[in-house]
């Protein structure tokens, strides 16, 4: 099952304690597609300026990513520059230039409209809604958002939520959206607005799945080297939705595994700058890491011996 992904196709300049990368491939759509294309074919809708090195996306094309929905427009591509601090948990935005992204109006090509799985990357909720209005009959709609839209476009975001099946946000966004510090209650609040499934990403602290009455946790994968945290959340979403699309199921056990696959692909994303880690990544390595997640979290239920019965 192919996934339609709409988001930013950007250039990033990133400084971390381990080095820097200048004007490299970035944006939610790139990270999502690089990750999800390990699982299934991906159709990308986005916009770039004349300065964009589209040829550098050839490795995605070779992996089944259809980039024909990326519009090239006169002007400059979306550019973001940031600097990560010592512990990589916080960052400063040094520069943001929206360029052609400022007037982005997603146009879904005819051949993309029958997609069953949709990923709405973090863009204006009005545009996310607009995407949904252009597709025929989406089976699974997953969406991301951020504090900027939660504050500035709350009404539109709440309208969008009514049509979203899975919301993927980080813990701060969940708390802000629900105006509730307790994550259990925040997730419950969000699920009351539309999404039957909520995934809360907590960076190095892992991810939580809320589905039905169940809560599921995957830890953050402990890496010896974190090179560049940029895009980890979108790479998570790519592994998560990629797995769901490949399986074409959304039962609870499948959702749990999807969270672990997302945690795995998210953890690979941070091992190199930009989407570079995905150039050499294959499913064998992903599955190996999924097995490590299992090993890291499993323990024997210890009832009898403790109660002494």
Footprint on this chain of a second copy (rule: CB under 8 A): 39, 86-88, 175, 181-185, 202, 205-206, 208, 214-219, 222-226, 243, 246-247, 253, 256-257, 259-261, 283-284, 287, 290-291, 294-303, 305-307
- At CA 201, angle to CA 238 and CA 221, rounded to 5? 80
Q: Are 243 and 39 in contact (CB under 8 A)?
A: yes
Question: By C-beta, is 175 or 277 nearer to a second copy?
Answer: 175
Name residue, tokens 């009351």. 192
Edge-to-edge order in the sheet of strand 166-170: 65-72, 42-48, 3-6, 117-120, 140-143, 166-170, 197-201, 207-211, 214-218
Least Å from the CB of residue 168 to a second copy: 18
Could you tell me how far CA 51 lies from the centroid of its own chain? Answer: 25
Least Å from the CB of residue 306 to a second copy: 6
Question: By C-beta, is 74 or 302 nearer to a second copy?
Answer: 302
Least Å from the CB of residue 12 to a second copy: 22
Q: Would you give the end-to-end CA distance of the chain in angstroms? A: 51
Least Å from the CB of residue 302 to a second copy: 5
Within 96-136, residue ranges assigned H as helices are 125-134
Least Å from the CB of residue 43 to a second copy: 21
Least Å from the CB of residue 136 to a second copy: 27
Question: By C-beta, is 133 or 307 nearer to a second copy?
Answer: 307
Cβ-based neighbour number of residue 304 at 10 Å = 8
By CB atoms closer than 10 A (0-12, 13-18, 19+), residue 219 is middle
Question: By C-beta, is 56 or 288 nearer to a second copy?
Answer: 288
Question: By C-beta, is 62 or 253 nearer to a second copy?
Answer: 253
Name residue, tokens 């990308």. 44
By CB atoms closer than 10 A (0-12, 13-18, 19+), residue 12 is buried
Question: By C-beta, is 10 or 208 nearer to a second copy?
Answer: 208
Number of alpha helices (DSSP H) and beta strands (DSSP E) in the chain: 12, 13
Beta-bridge partners for 45: 6, 69
CA-to-CA distance for 156 and 71, rounded, in angstroms?
Answer: 25
Question: By C-beta, is 102 or 214 nearer to a second copy?
Answer: 214
Least Å from the CB of residue 180 to a second copy: 10
By CB atoms closer than 10 A (0-12, 13-18, 19+), residue 250 is middle
Least Å from the CB of residue 105 to a second copy: 36
Question: By C-beta, is 193 or 202 nearer to a second copy?
Answer: 202
């Amino acid at each position: 099952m192919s996934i339609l992904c709409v988001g930013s196709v950007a250039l990033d300049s990133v400084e971390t304690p381990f080095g820097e990368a200048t004007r490299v491939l970035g944006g939610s759509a790139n990270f999502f597609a690089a990750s999800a294309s390990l699982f299934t074919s991906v159709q990308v809708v986005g916009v770039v300026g004349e300065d964009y090195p589209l040829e550098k996306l050839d490795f995605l094309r070779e992996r089944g990513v259809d980039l024909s929905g990326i519009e090239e427009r006169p002007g400059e591509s979306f550019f973001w520059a940031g600097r990560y601090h010592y512990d990589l948990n916080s960052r400063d935005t040094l520069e943001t230039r929206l360029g052609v992204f400022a007037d982005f109006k997603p146009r879904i090509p005819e051949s993309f409209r029958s997609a069953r799985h949709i990923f709405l990357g973090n863009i204006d909720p009005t545009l996310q809604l607009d995407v949904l209005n252009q597709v025929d009959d989406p089976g699974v709609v997953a969406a991301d958002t951020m504090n900027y839209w939660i504050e500035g476009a709350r009404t539109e975001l709440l309208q969008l939520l009514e049509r979203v099946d899975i919301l993927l946000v980080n813990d701060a966004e969940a708390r802000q959206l629900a105006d509730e510090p307790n994550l259990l209650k925040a997730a419950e609040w969000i699920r009351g607005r539309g999404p039957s499934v909520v995934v809360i990403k907590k960076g190095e602290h892992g991810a939580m799945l809320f589905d039905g009455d169940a809560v599921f946790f995957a830890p953050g994968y402990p890496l010896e080297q974190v090179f560049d945290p940029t895009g980890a959340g979108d790479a998570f979403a790519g592994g998560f939705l990629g797995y769901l699309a490949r399986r074409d199921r959304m039962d609870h056990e499948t959702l749990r595994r999807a969270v672990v696959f997302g945690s795995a692909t998210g953890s690979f994303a941070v091992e190199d700058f930009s989407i570079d880690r995905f150039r050499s990544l294959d499913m064998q390595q992903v599955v190996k890491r999924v097995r490590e997640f299992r090993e890291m979290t499993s323990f024997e239920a210890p009832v009898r011996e403790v109660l002494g019965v």
